[in-house]
């Protein structure tokens, strides 16, 4: 069903086709800029080929985007961020050329701040929406248009008369964006509950004359959490009366086809949730969402009689040359931007092992953050306190696939290296933290590992619910991780164990001295983490000593230009404690095979390749290898 859209309407019914993209993340051309090679399974220029074909088949169609379109690739770094660029934003050029009927804002549109977003959107007349972001003290007035009515004139299949069809749209994003981009949004906007907003606006659209209501929901499908407050609230939204179709996204998955969970409410075969047709069209333009609504006309207007949902892959599609020509200038400018020289790497830097050891990409990021914050703290009241740096790996496969790893060869460093090491436009800040707070911080991070039983042989090492960017190292401390202890937190930050349970973090020290709960530190980190991103508590306002103000990628670029990659220590911050008779199984990118000396040094065993293309590796955890592996 994922690649087969409807080809005709049933007799006696009119046909409206809803075409949808989501989470394109500025991947316009089918080109992987961080690897400088063509990509055969993503890119809006490939999606455009499907869009054009799907439009030609249907009697009537609308084209929608569900958010996260302005951030996520070097194109966005150049045109959305602070780097110098000329000309109109290529993403907006592409969307203008394709003729989108409406665009919903996703959470990543706010990574650059409201003022920069306003400036970018001023370049286009495309209708951009967000229904649940309001301005404080303005009686619920939304920051962006909350609803939209699209009208099509549809021929009645039986009478031949032209009848107006009014399609109402609302657009929703998770209220957790106030945490993720709190540095840009706090005190300027508020984000209301998605489900409550839908309950309010759907009947309003009906009262305004909408025959159909379509929801652009920048949220995922999570059968395990159907509460109104969930980040991934599609299940709860599907319970709202009056919705005829829904576009989902945010989690970069594909529906129908790969959700991986079927419940009484989810029908993968029909592509429905609670009987409502739903699509989720992947990531980076990998799929086109297609919802076909087959309509009958009653005395009260049009209503849905039947429907069909599909998520069609772009694999095997050619790029649409017309669209490629429209954005050619931006493509060439981006290639020039990412090839700017910065420094030199005396040896390769890769992230294939960054989830199972204190790795060089993490140490490089931590060093760059520390240098930037040392400058910001110099001469101030906190300059003499110990400065730690919290860093996580950002390219670790997962839903982005087996090629989504940092792999910088020995030789020249460029802005491509920066994009690979740090793909997000975060701002850096610094906060106060006690010894007790850094210990809990590390317990949350170490919860990414499964509990390992001594003597049980091969066991899964990583909890797949934890994305790589949720797994922090606190550079400046040393510690051991006891894998035989149970994890203290789940991937949402919910506590799993009582405080009295044996901790995973042992031997925590700073400069060789054990860390006491009452010790005081300054921690350099990004704003996403500081405001509660991942399984972490938001930092209280009074703990900030440097507000988010320094661009993380700018700091990294300056560090690489000054120091390259080889000034960081190779002595690991943390190590696994030995687990006799145990081996940890994990997945990584097949590019690791090119680093056979490291594999041999760590005792890694190749256990084959998964159907998705990931390399399965076994890491011995006994006393002879685990110290070097960490």
pTM for the model: 0.87
What percent of the chain lies above the pLDDT cut of 70? Answer: 97
Is pLDDT at 222 greater than 80 in this prediction? yes
Alpha-carbon distance of 390 to 538, in angstroms, equals 14
Is pLDDT at 531 greater than 60 in this prediction? yes
Residue 421 has a pLDDT of 93
Q: What is the mean pLDDT of residues 444-455?
A: 96
**Tens digit of pLDDT for each residue in 472-499?**
999 999 999 999 999 999 998 999 988 7
Residue 86 has a pLDDT of 64
Alpha-carbon distance of 181 to 102, in angstroms, equals 24
**Range from 54-68, 91-105, 384-398, 559-573 carrying the lowest mean pLDDT:** 559-573
Query: Chain-wide mean pLDDT for the chain?
Result: 91
Residue 2 has a pLDDT of 45
Q: What is the mean pLDDT of residues 530-550?
A: 90
**Tens digit of pLDDT for each residue in 282-330?**
999 999 999 999 999 887 889 999 999 999 999 999 999 999 999 999 9
Residue 163 has a pLDDT of 87
Tell me which residue has tokens 């939304």: 142
Higher-pLDDT residue of 73, 156: 73
Half-sphere exposure of 220 (CA within 13 A, CB side): 20
Angle, to 10 degrees, between the axis of helix 328-338 and the axis of helix 90-98? Answer: 160
HEC string of 74-113 equals: HHHHHHHCCCCCCCCCHHHHHHHHHCCCEEECCHHHHCCC
Confidence of residue 85 (pLDDT cuts 50, 70, 90): low
What percent of the chain lies above the pLDDT cut of 90? Answer: 74
**Tens digit of pLDDT for each residue in 507-519?**
999 999 999 999 9
Closest CA to 288 of 4, 20, 3, 17: 20
Q: What is the mean pLDDT of residues 451-463?
A: 96
Alpha-carbon distance of 321 to 335, in angstroms, equals 19
Is pLDDT at 630 greater than 70 in this prediction? no
Residue 104 has a pLDDT of 98
Confidence of residue 83 (pLDDT cuts 50, 70, 90): low
As separate numbers, helices (DSSP H) first and strands (DSSP E) second, the chain gives: 17, 35
Residue 84 has a pLDDT of 55
**Tens digit of pLDDT for each residue in 206-216?**
999 999 999 99
């Amino acid at each position: 069903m994922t690649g087969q859209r409807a080809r005709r309407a049933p007799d006696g019914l009119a046909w409206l086709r809803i075409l949808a993209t989501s989470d394109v993340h500025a991947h316009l051309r089918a080109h992987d800029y961080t690897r400088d090679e063509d990509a055969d399974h993503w890119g809006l220029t490939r999606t455009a080929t499907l869009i054009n074909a799907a439009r030609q088949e249907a009697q009537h169609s609308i084209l929608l985007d569900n958010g996260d379109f302005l951030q996520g690739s070097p194109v966005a770094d150049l045109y959305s961020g602070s780097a110098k660029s000329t000309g109109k934003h290529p993403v907006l050029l592409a969307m203008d050329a394709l003729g989108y009927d409406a665009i919903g804002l996703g959470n990543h549109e706010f990574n650059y701040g409201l003022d920069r977003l306003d400036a970018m959107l001023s370049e286009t007349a495309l209708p951009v929406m967000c229904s649940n972001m309001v301005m404080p003290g303005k009686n619920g007035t939304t920051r962006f248009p909350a609803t939209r009515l699209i009208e099509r004139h549809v021929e009645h299949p039986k009478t031949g008369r032209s009848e107006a069809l009014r399609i109402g749209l609302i657009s929703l994003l998770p209220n957790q964006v106030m945490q993720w981009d709190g540095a840009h949004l706090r005190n300027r906007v508020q984000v209301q509950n998605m489900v409550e907003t839908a309950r309010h606006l759907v009947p309003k659209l009906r009262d305004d004359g909408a025959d159909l209501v379509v929801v652009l929901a920048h949220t995922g499908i999570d059968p395990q959490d159907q509460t109104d407050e969930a980040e991934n609230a599609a299940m709860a939204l599907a319970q709202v009366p009056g919705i005829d179709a829904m576009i989902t996204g945010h989690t970069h998955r594909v529906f129908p086809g790969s959700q991986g969970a079927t419940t009484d409410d989810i029908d993968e075969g029909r592509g429905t949730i609670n009987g409502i047709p739903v699509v989720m069209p992947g990531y980076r333009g990998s799929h086109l969402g297609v919802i076909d609504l087959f309509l009958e006309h009653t005395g009260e207007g049009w209503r849905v009689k039947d429907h069909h949902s599909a998520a069609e892959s772009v694999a095997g599609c050619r790029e649409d040359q017309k669209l490629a020509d429209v954005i050619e200038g931006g493509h060439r400018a981006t290639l020039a931007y990412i090839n700017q020289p910065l420094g030199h790497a005396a040896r390769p830097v890769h992230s294939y092992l960054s989830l199972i050891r204190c790795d060089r990409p993490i140490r490089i990021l931590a060093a760059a953050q520390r240098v930037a914050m040392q400058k910001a703290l110099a001469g101030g009241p906190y300059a003499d306190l110990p400065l730690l740096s919290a860093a996580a790996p950002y390219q670790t496969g997962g839903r982005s696939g087996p090629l989504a790893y940092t792999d910088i060869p020995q030789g020249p460093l460029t802005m491509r290296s920066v994009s690979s090491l740090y793909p997000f436009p975060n701002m850096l800040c610094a906060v106060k933290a006690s010894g007790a707070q850094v210990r809990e911080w590390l317990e949350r991070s170490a919860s990414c590992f499964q509990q390992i039983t001594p003597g049980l042989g091969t066991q899964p090492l990583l909890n797949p619910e934890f994305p790589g960017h949720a797994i922090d190292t606190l550079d400046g401390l040393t510690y051991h991780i006891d894998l035989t202890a149970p994890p203290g937190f789940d991937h949402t930050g919910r506590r799993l164990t009582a405080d009295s349970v044996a901790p995973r973090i042992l031997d925590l020290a700073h400069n060789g001295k054990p860390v006491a709960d009452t010790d005081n530190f300054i921690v350099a980190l990004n704003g996403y983490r500081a405001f509660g991103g991942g399984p972490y508590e938001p930092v209280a306002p009074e703990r900030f000593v440097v507000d988010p103000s320094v661009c993380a990628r700018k700091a990294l670029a300056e560090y690489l230009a000054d120091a390259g990659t080889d000034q960081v220590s190779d002595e690991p911050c943390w190590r696994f404690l030995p687990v006799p008779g145990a081996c940890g199984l994990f997945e990584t990118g097949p590019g690791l095979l090119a680093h056979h000396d490291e594999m041999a040094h760590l005792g890694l065993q190749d256990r084959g390749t998964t159907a998705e293309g990931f390399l399965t590796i076994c890491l011995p955890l006994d006393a002879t290898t685990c110290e070097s592996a960490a």
